[in-house]
Chain A
Amino acid sequence: MRFLALITILMVGGLLFYGTPDFPAWGDPESPASLHVSPYYIEHAVEDTAVPNIVTAVLADYRGYDTMFETAVIFSAGIACLFLLRIYRRKSTTTRLYRHNLTGITLRIAKGGKLPEGSAEFERIDSLWVPYDMIIKVTSRLVVPFVQLFALYVIAHGHHSPGGGFQGGVIFGAAIILYAISNDLRRAFRRLNEKAALLASAAGVLLYAGTGLMCLLLGGNFLDYSKLADLLYTDAIMARSHGILIVEIGVGLAVMAVMVSLYYNLSSAGRHDEGL
């Protein structure tokens, strides 16, 4: 196997190597790749869309269709994970573990019995050993809101600085994942449960595609935001800028929800009872 692998990678390497001597030198501003289409973006992005961050302008407007499918890819990954892993089980016969918060004594209740949820003195814990981790919990409680705020900033400020819907969505999702890791999965469900995550992911992509459809209904081509001008009470250029913001919000919503849902499914192997 190792020999076969070596031969294959040498062949692939040779194939890739063959073309390289004819490449333009690295960092050459005059290389053909930089002279045909991309100057158009650099020179016209601001006047076409009023977005100084050219990457955002190209991502959400000039090549917005790619981005819609990129969001659809991440959405389908979320659905795929759910489809593959989720185990729907009505009644749980597993044993549950509870900790008495004041004394640290652990109770083990076998065969589906349970203490009432939300009691102040007892806390349900995962079956693998979980220490009483006040420092982690308090720190994460401190960090999570700021991370979420930063995520919103990244989404909203994608027009002017690096960032945008995708990055912001991932950061927002990461904040929720942090919450789920530092506490436990059940507590995260109380904030954002499975159905809400699914709904949010579908709604996010639908917001994107719906904006495109709206443009189509208003007489433009699919995703031609300039046709939204009358709806948004602005001129065509600002309409493009606002259209970009709308779809970035959609992307952010979808990505956030999908990241969380992927984490839920992977960390509990589809059972949705115990996480990391």
Chain B
Amino acid sequence: MSAHFPGLVIIIPLVAAFLILIGALLDRRLAFPLTALALLGSLLTAIGLLGKVIQTGVVEYHLAGWAPPVGIAYRVDHLNALVLVAVATVAFVNLMGTRELVKGLFEDRLGPFYTLYILLIAGLQGIVVTGDAFNLYVLLEIAALTGYALVGMSEGRAPLSSLNYIFIGTVGASLYLLGVGYLYLVTGTLNMADLAVRLPALYPSKVVVSAFVICLVGLCIKMGFFPMHAWLPNAYSHAPDPVSSLVAPLVTKVMIYVMIRMMLFVFTPAFAFDQMAISEPMVWLAIAAIVAGSFMALSTRRLKRMLTYIIVAEVGYMVGGFWLGNRLGISGAILHIVNDAIMTLCVFLSAAAIISKVGSDAIDDMQGLFKKMPVTMGVFVVAGLSIIGVPPTCGFFSKWYLISGAVAAGQYGFMAALLLSSLINLVLFFRIFEIAYFEPFHDHHGDHGHFVSAVQEAPFEMLVTLVVTAVLLFALGIYAGDIVSQIIDHAIPVGIT
């Protein structure tokens, strides 16, 4: 059975999606348990796959029994397996945590909601596992389409920002498709491993160069990298809370994974780092992303919007770390993909809990929250410390790798940007802590503005998931060394030092 793990990781949620819809037509309450079951199965399969990869190395799976390049193949190495586990974990944890919220928001459309939710996860996991450049596009679109629908389902400005997200996302995906088309034109294959074999002979060709640039631009648009980031804050901050805590940790990170996969395993480092010579400008763009993201976060007084600007900066971390082009930097970027997924999940989940209690996402309305929601705020503090980069939370370790990578590459500007952004994050989070700790609570639902001391926590299952994510943050921090030496070191091609 374990031979089929790479397929099953995707097939379980996919088949479950249709069963959920049919089940929800019969009885609405069936939707949640079915989804939970499927995502749990997918998570366990993903963990099993990771274990298998660590033991035996690369796992291949030929769909429909055709060997590549004729058929589509899945190729799971250490990099995929790690990101896969992160995606599956975030999906499952978020599902468990947001049950009550979803019930409140989408009471009459639970079936479609969970169907879309699980299709989004199937798409993202497929993107991570697949070894075929075109298959990746199809999965990209399935993840994108479900994402648009989920983001747009809210009152206020959500539909408009989701529509803009569609426009930009479609342009990004079309550019990626064009890049793949250019590669197909000169090589005649779509399989990533096969492309990597056939491309080196063609490096001087202008077609390969433009394919590289087109792919990169398309992916940068999809991941919300600095000059093309405009859609991201709107789409994520106007989305419904249970959706933004799913989409924000996953979509951009998976796109960064795709970039790393394309650059390292399709174009190969020799082409991406040495021949194209765009490492320097990319790192400078990353610096700009970090600085701009941090300052924009500083300028807003809304919690979710602030967090989305932090994501813009975090994308800068990972892209910059990757384009440093040395082992430390790339390790830091990959480690940060995992860490940032959990960190963002944690911070968005606690934000969702806070917003559902306070009734507004303005930072100034958060007075006295430490008294009112001690556990939620405790978790929020942990997540904040992790984003700032305080040991022993995981944020510190990935930042450490990134900074040492920057020093090794001589990119002191990047190092300075990282430190500056940590400093600004410190300001951002302590501003919230201060308001929430020192100022008395004002109830915004009622008209009485007096001090309320009663504890009014978020629902129990949300608290449990919040605590679990906080523990995960520490665990990832404590085992960071092991993750790097056991998994990430094997994920990076040997040629990179």
CA of A31 to CA of B115 in the docked complex: distance in angstroms? 43
List of B residues within 8 angstroms of A16 by Cβ: 178, 210, 214
* Chain B residues near A189 (CB-CB < 8 A): none
Answer whether residue A223 sits at the interface, using C-beta atoms and an 8 A cutoff: yes
Within 8 Å of chain A (Cβ to Cβ): is B4?
yes
Take A33-B186, A33-B188, A73-B138 as given contacts and tell me if A23 and B14 are in contact as well, using a CB distance cutoff of 8 Å.
Answer: no
A223: chain B residues at CB < 8 Å are 63-65
* Chain A window 54-67, contacts with chain B (Cβ cutoff 8 Å), 1 for yes, 0 for no: 00000001111110
Which single member of A24, A76, A86, A210 contacts B146 (CB below 8 Å)?
A: A76
Judging by beta carbons under 8 Å apart, are A73 and B209 in contact? no
Interface size class of A (residues with CB under 8 A): 35 or more
User: When chains A and B are docked, how far (Å) is the Cα of A61 from the Cα of B72?
Assistant: 10
Q: Does A147 belong to the interface (CB within 8 Å)?
A: no
Cβ-defined partner of A22 (8 Å) among B115, B146, B187, B207: B207
CB-nearest residue of chain A to B115: A79
Residue of A nearest to B202 (CB): A32
Asked if A36 is an interface residue, CB under 8 A from chain B, the answer is yes
With beta carbons under 8 angstroms apart, the residue of A23, A65, A70, A80 that contacts B64 is A65
- B residues 180-215 near A (Cβ < 8 Å) are 182, 184-190, 198, 205-207, 209-211, 213-214
- Are A65 and B135 in contact (CB-based, < 8 A)? yes
Which residues of B are found within 8 Å of A19, using beta-carbon distances?
182, 206-207, 209-211
Cα distance, A38 to B138, chains bound together (Å):
20
Chain A-chain B contacts (Cβ-Cβ < 8 Å), number: 169
Contact across chains for B61 and A221 when beta carbons are under 8 A apart: yes
User: Could you mark each residue 203-245 of chain B with 1 if its beta carbon is under 8 Å from any beta carbon of chain A, else 0?
Assistant: 0011101110110010000000000000000000000000000
The reply on A21 being an interface residue by CB < 8 A is yes
Interface size on B, residues (CB 8 A): 63
Residues of B within 8 A of A84 (CB): 149, 152-153, 159
Q: How far is the CA of A213 from the CA of B6 in the complex (A)?
A: 14
State whether B15 touches A213 (Cβ < 8 A).
Answer: yes
Q: Is B329 an interface residue (CB 8 A)?
A: no
A262 to chain B, nearest CB (A): 13
B378: CB under 8 A from chain A? no
Q: Contact check: which of A24, A83, A221 meets B153 at CB < 8 Å? A: A83
Contact between chains at A62 and B70 (CB < 8 Å): yes
Which residues of chain A (64-107) have a CB below 8 Å from chain B?
64-66, 68-70, 72-73, 75-77, 79-84, 86, 88
A64-B64, A79-B112 known; A18 vs B71 contact (CB < 8 Å): no
Chain B positions within 8 Å of A224 at CB level: 64-65
Q: Let me know if B185 and A37 touch, CB within 8 A.
A: no
Query: Given contacts A33-B185, A33-B188, A35-B188, is CB(A40)–CB(B145) below 8 Å?
Result: no
Q: Using Cβ atoms and an 8 Å threshold, which residues of chain A touch B214?
A: 15-16
Is B126 on the interface with A (CB-CB < 8 A)?
Answer: yes
Contact B18 A32 (CB under 8 A): no
A24 (CB) vs chain B CBs: closest residue: B185
Asked whether B64 lies within 8 Å of A225 as measured between CB atoms, the reply is yes
Chain B neighbourhood of A40, CB < 8 A = 70
Chain B interface secondary structure, helix, strand, loop or mixed?
helix
- Contact segment of A109-117, A152-160, A201-209: A201-209
Residues A69 and B126 in contact in the complex (CB < 8 Å), given A15-B210, A31-B185, A79-B149: yes
Which residues from A are CB-within-8-Å of B159?
84
Q: Counting CB contacts under 8 A, is B41 at the interface?
A: no
Chain A residues with CB under 8 Å of B209's CB are: 18-19
CB distance from B497 to the nearest CB of A (A): 32
Asked if A220 lies at the interface with its beta carbon under 8 angstroms from chain B, I say yes
Task: Tell me, yes or no, whether B433 is within 8 Å of chain A by CB.
Answer: no
CB distance from A196 to the nearest CB of B (A): 10
Contact check, B15 vs A34: say whether CB atoms are below 8 A apart.
Answer: no
Residues 152-189 of B, flagged 1 when their CB comes within 8 A of A and 0 if not, give 11000001000000000000000000100010111111
Residue of A whose beta carbon sits closest to that of B208: A19
B145 CB contact (under 8 Å) in A23, A76, A202, A213: A76
> Is A198 an interface residue, CB under 8 A from the partner?
yes
Which one, B4, B187, B213, contacts A36 given CB within 8 A? B187
Among candidates B70, B153, B186, residue contacting A37 with C-beta atoms closer than 8 Å? B70
Find the B residue at minimum CB distance from A38: B188
Q: Considering the complex, which residues of chain B in the window 14-62 have a beta carbon less than 8 Å from any beta carbon of chain A?
A: 14-15, 17-19, 21-22, 25, 61-62
Q: Are A62 and B206 touching (Cβ within 8 A)? A: no
**A72 partner, pick from B142, B152, B205, beta carbons under 8 A:** B142
- Chain B residue numbers with a CB within 8 Å of A70 are 138
With contacts A32-B187, A202-B18, A221-B4 known, is A61 near B64, CB below 8 A? yes
Over the window 56-95 of chain B, the binary record of Cβ atoms lying under 8 Å from chain A Cβ atoms (1 yes, 0 no) is 0000011111100111100000000000000000000000
Question: Which of B112, B122, B182, B210 is in CB contact (< 8 Å) with A83?
Answer: B112
Question: A22 and B206 in contact (CB under 8 A), knowing A65-B72, A206-B18?
Answer: yes
- A252 CB within 8 Å of chain B: no
Residues from chain B with a CB closer than 8 A to the CB of A15 are 210, 213-214, 217
A41 at the interface (CB under 8 A from B): yes
Beta-carbon nearest neighbor of A44 in chain B = B70
Q: Give Cα A32 to B189, complex, Å.
A: 9
Q: Is B116 an interface residue (CB 8 A)?
A: yes
Are A221 and B63 in touch, CB under 8 angstroms? Answer: yes
Interfacial residues, chain B to chain A (CB-CB below 8 A) = 4, 7, 11, 14-15, 17-19, 21-22, 25, 61-66, 69-72, 108-109, 112-113, 115-116, 119, 122-123, 126, 134-135, 138-139, 141-142, 145-146, 148-149, 152-153, 159, 178, 182, 184-190, 198, 205-207, 209-211, 213-214, 217
The 8 closest A-B pairs by CB, nearest first: A36-B188, A19-B210, A80-B149, A224-B65, A83-B112, A223-B64, A202-B18, A22-B206
Chain A contact residues, CB within 8 Å of chain B: 15-16, 18-19, 21-24, 31-38, 40-41, 61-66, 68-70, 72-73, 75-77, 79-84, 86, 88, 195, 198-199, 202-203, 205-206, 209-210, 212-213, 216, 220-226
21 pairs, CB–CB < 8 Å, chain A vs chain B: A16-B210, A18-B209, A19-B206, A22-B206, A32-B185, A36-B188, A40-B70, A62-B66, A69-B142, A72-B17, A75-B18, A76-B149, A80-B146, A80-B148, A83-B116, A202-B19, A206-B15, A206-B18, A209-B11, A209-B15, A224-B65
